[in-house]
Amino acid sequence: MIRYSLHRALSLILSLLVASVVIFTVIEVIPGDTAAFMLGVNARPDTIAALRAELGLDQGGFARYLTWVTGMLQGDFGQSYTYRTPVAELIADRIWVSLPLALYALFLAVVIAFPAGLYAASRRGRLGDISVMGATQIGVAIPNFWFAMLMVLVFAIHLRWVSAGGFPGWDQGLGAGIKALTLPAISLALPQAAILTRVLRSSLLDMLGEDFMRTARAKGLSRRQSLWRHALRNALIPVLTIIGLQFAFLIAGGIVIEQVFFLPGLGRLIFQAISARDLIVVESVVMLLVFLIIVVNFIIDIAYAAIDPRLRARA
């Protein structure tokens, strides 16, 4: 288990290093001068030069990469060009919207998918299964931003139950925060719940054909008991993989949903930073997202080992 974890940890560090080089290079080669962009069409060349110097943009690319990476290792993401505040502060503010939103959505997706998947698998081929599968087909097909707009139309404009968007801040109370995140979380969660349901169902059905399931039934367990005790645990590996991928998608997918609901999260920060050419913010937020995703995958890898003892032995 320890060797396995170390192995995964090493690949995690290498992935992060490669990601940092790729992100920095890709963003730096985009044409356009940040300082010139910030100052607009009436700016004089000497003003632009002064701003470039102030932002540290007059240094070479490699020097800036080193400053950036060494800074990040110490938790310093640099200074935002446009906001003129530390990027770490910007991220710290925004992550309290994006992370709860992603977790909320993931929670909803799991809460919907597990009962639905188990139900469909236990009713294979019957009306219940067909209805659940039909519903998930629709869930997968509907784009989440479109569904989000539809919900805004119904719940914010017609029924007036919630605001059309915005986030009051957690200091206004947990209830207010959760209320503001509910529509966005539902719109993020539904397509994910649909995918998860389908994966769980097919994974469970694969298990039903296994020898150990026949043995379980033979020793007298009911269909439901064998499904819960034996099939579910074995079916979890592909489901966990999907949940890991989905968490990544939910964090990144927030970019669109945060625009639709004008939520002050990481997605909106990155969107604004791209349009304002605040490259240091773009680089740092993308790096953070990569970090989150790699860490989640790491956790999932470790979780595989916890679920499946064979993986521990193999490593």
Partner 1 sequence: MNNQFIKCLAPLALAAWAGMAAAQDNNINVAIQLEPPNLDPTGGAAQAIDSVLYSNVFEGLTRFLANGAVTAGLAKDWDISDDGLTYTFHLRDGVSFHDGTAMDADDVKFSLDRARAEDSTNAQKGLFADIADVSVVDPTTVVVTLSRPNGNFLFNMAWGDAVIVAPESIGDIASNPIGTGAFKFSDWVQGDRIELVRNPDYWGDKALLDAATFRFISDPTAAFAAVMAEDVDAFVGFPAPENLAQFSSDTRFQVLVGNTEGETILAMNNGLAPFDNVLVRQAVALAINRQEIIDGAMFGLGTPIGTHFAPHNPAYKDLLALSPHDPERAKALLAEAGYPDGFTTTLKLPPPSYARRGGEIIAAQLRDVGITAEITNLEWAQWLEEVFRGKDYGLTIVSHTEPMDIGIYANPDYYFQYGDPEFAAIMDRLNAETDPTKRQLLLQDAQTKIAEDYVNGYLFELAVATVAKRELNGLWLNQPTAAVDLTAVHWAR
Among 27, 43, 57, 237, binds partner 1 (CB under 8 A): 43
The amino acid occupying position 250 is L
Residue 83 backbone dihedrals phi, psi, to 5 degrees:
-75, -20
Among 149, 237, 240, 299, binds partner 1 (CB under 8 A): 149
Nearest to 167 by CA among 69, 100, 86, 78: 100
Interface with partner 1 includes 268 (CB under 8 A)? yes
Among 69, 103, 245, 276, binds partner 1 (CB under 8 A): 276
Report the residue number, 230 or 277, with the smaller CB distance to partner 1: 277
Interface with partner 1 includes 142 (CB under 8 A)? no
- The interface with partner 1 within residues 157-216 (CB under 8 A) comprises 157, 160, 163-167, 169
Interface with partner 1 includes 61 (CB under 8 A)? no
Interface with partner 1 includes 44 (CB under 8 A)? yes
Tell me how far, at minimum, the Cβ of 175 lies from partner 1, in Å: 18
Nearest to 277 by CA among 1, 10, 27, 18: 27
Tell me how far, at minimum, the Cβ of 74 lies from partner 1, in Å: 23
Residue span binding partner 1 (CB under 8 A) among the ranges 108-116, 134-142, 152-160, 235-243: 152-160
Interface with partner 1 includes 67 (CB under 8 A)? no
By CB under 8 A, name the binding residues for partner 1: 30-34, 36-44, 46-47, 50-51, 54, 82-85, 90, 93-94, 97, 149, 152-153, 156-157, 160, 163-167, 169, 259-265, 268-269, 272, 275-278
